[in-house]
């Protein structure tokens, strides 16, 4: 019987950024940008609730919707739109990593925001956490902030997803390194 040796096919990056990057800090007066996609309705619902709570804290909230057509002329158009969106925000919340390709694009777009020095948080569901973290590491930013939502999520009704958004509000704020005003925090708890 022959004995073989299996080698790890991916090399470790020597330029990996293990820092999560700048914190979001107080939300008042800042523009928080939510990167959405065309697939996950649950992410739309969660981001709407979080966006409303961020507005209560004094932030301006913007949304930008991506899609999976990221090659050729359509890919170039989407890349320009993403660049324009990132130029218009102070904080990025990018989601949703809820399947293989969606997690890939979520992390890719989060890395693009982080490369600009924007406080960035990627959002994945728990089944895709490991993939998200591995992709961030392969992208040279193993320290990328990633907030984890439960799975399954998109298969639930809005009435089931809304409580999840509120349950994760404090967690995403912590992940972002953000702060709400005392008034906004009391309102968010109601």
Burial of 138 (0-12, 13-18, 19+ CB in 10 A): middle
Give the residue-averaged pLDDT of 160-166. Answer: 98
Task: State pLDDT tens for residues 136-152.
Answer: 999 999 999 999 999 99
- Tokens, residue 13: 């990056």
Q: Please state the rounded mean pLDDT for residues 157-173.
A: 98
Judging by DSSP bridges, how do beta strands 178-179 and 25-26 pair with one another? parallel
Specify the range with the lowest mean pLDDT, choosing from 2-6, 47-51, 98-102, 144-148: 2-6
Burial class, 161, CB count within 10 angstroms (exposed 0-12 / middle 13-18 / buried 19+): buried
pLDDT tens for each residue of 38-80:
999 999 999 999 999 999 999 999 999 998 788 999 999 999 9
Element (H, E) at 86: helix 72-87
Q: Read off the pTM.
A: 0.90
In this predicted structure, what is the pLDDT of residue 148? 98
* Burial readout 100-111 (b: 16 or more C-beta within 10 A, e: otherwise): eebbbbbbbbbb
- In this model, does residue 190 exceed pLDDT 70? no
For the segment 167-184, the average pLDDT, to the nearest whole number, is 87
Residue 136, burial from CB neighbour count under 10 angstroms (0-12, 13-18, 19+): buried
Contact 167, 15 (CB under 8 A): no
Spatial neighbors of 62 by CB under 8 A, at least 6 apart, are 31, 32, 33, 34, 85, 88, 89
Report the C-alpha gap between 145 and 23 in whole angstroms.
Answer: 10
């Amino acid at each position: 019987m022959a004995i073989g040796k299996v080698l790890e096919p991916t090399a470790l990056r020597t330029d990996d950024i293990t820092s999560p990057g700048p914190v979001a800090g107080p939300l008042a007066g800042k523009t928080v940008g939510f990167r959405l996609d065309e697939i996950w309705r649950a992410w739309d619902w969660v981001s709407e609730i979080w966006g409303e709570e961020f507005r209560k804290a004094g932030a301006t909230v913007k949304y930008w919707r991506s899609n999976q057509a990221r090659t050729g002329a359509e890919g170039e158009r989407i890349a320009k739109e993403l660049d324009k969106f990132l130029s218009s925000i102070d904080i990025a919340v990018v989601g949703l990593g809820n399947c293989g390709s969606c997690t890939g694009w979520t992390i890719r777009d989060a890395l693009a925001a982080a490369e600009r020095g924007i406080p960035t948080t990627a959002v994945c569901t728990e089944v895709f956490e490991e993939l998200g973290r591995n992709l961030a590491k392969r992208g040279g930013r193993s320290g990328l902030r990633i907030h984890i939502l439960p799975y399954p999520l998109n298969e639930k009704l809005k009435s089931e997803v809304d409580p999840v958004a509120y349950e994760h509000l404090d967690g995403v704020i912590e992940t972002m390194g953000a702060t709400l005003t005392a008034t906004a925090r009391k309102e968010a708890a109601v």
